[in-house]
Structure 1
Amino acid sequence: MRHGRTFLIGVLSGLAYMLASPSALPQAPQGAEGVSGQQAFNNACRTCHIMREGDNRLGPNLHKIIGRKAGSLPDYGFSSAMKEAGFVWDEEKLDRFIANPDEVVPGNSMKPYGGLSSSEDRKKIIAFLAQSR
């Protein structure tokens, strides 16, 4: 009887260890495939930006950004570089800017954000932004 109890305790301890280990739990998909556009936006942009019209944070709101002239949103204090950028935001320009803001608008005020290297996440963010056109 004593050996049976010891064996049962060992089995239950092993089972408890397996259930507590991260590899035994269902894992969220890794990489861009398991992330929605809104999740990608939240992960990379939401600290400074919001999608709600008329509501700025540290960065300007991005509601209807596609088709908007860079640096033109009223009631936001853009850097001189962004005000003078002289282009209208489209998907291609957003992709380049999200990847490397300094390459598209040198002197912008996006510091410390240095860019998003995942092209899949950038595509998802841009598709999410495009929903507000």
Structure 2
Amino acid sequence: MKRKMIRAAAAFAAAASGMVFMMPNASAAPDVSRGEQIYQSCQDCHSLDTNDVGPMHRGVFGRKAASVPDYSYSTALKNSGITWDQDSLDRWLTDPQKLVPGSKMFFHLDSAQDRADVIEYLKERAK
């Protein structure tokens, strides 16, 4: 009887662990190359190295929001106290107006995977 219970528990554990990997909503690891492709849609307003409609993104990780020289930020973003990291960028790209009401940016990425990929691109390639 004890052996049957051990085998049943082992079978359940194996099946359960397989189900975790097969869940349709499980997100893949961030992909820098895919992030670079998605970032192309950001280039209507941003670039890595120059200010445009939006501020440049080179060195964004660890940078205090609204601190790029020669860019005219909204008062709301200047007063936000945000330092850009994985979490703050994800919240920003989800809904910039919710994170900082009155900021200039309205563009957002609905997909968590798209946000993760863009953030990974910025983290790795925009140093």
**Does TM, normalized by the shorter one, top 0.5?**
yes
Query: What's the TM-score, normalizing by structure 2?
Result: 0.71
Q: Which residue of 2 aligns with 1:95?
A: 90
Query: What's the TM-score, normalizing by structure 1?
Result: 0.68
Q: Which residue of 2 aligns with 1:29?
A: none
Distance 2:114 2:100 in 1: 21
RMSD (CA atoms): 1.7
> 4+ residue stretches of structure 1 with deviation over 4 A?
none
1:127 paired to 2:124? no
1:106 paired to 2:101? yes
- The answer for unaligned runs of 5 or more in structure 1 is 1-32
What is the Cα deviation at residue 118 of structure 1?
0.6
What is the Cα deviation at residue 39 of structure 1?
0.5
1:73 paired to 2:35? no
Q: Which residue of 1 aligns with 2:39?
A: 41
- The answer for unaligned runs of 5 or more in structure 2 is 1-30
Q: Tell me the percent identity.
A: 38
What is the Cα deviation at residue 46 of structure 1?
1.1
Partner deviation per Cα, 1:41-88 (whole Å, 9 max, x = no partner): 112x11101012xx1110000111110001111110000001111121
What is the Cα deviation at residue 36 of structure 1?
1.1
Distance 2:39 2:91 in 1: 15
Distance 2:36 2:52 in 1: 17
Q: Which has the higher contact order (CA 8 A, sep 6+)?
A: 2
Q: Rg larger in 1 or in 2?
A: 1
Aligned length: 96
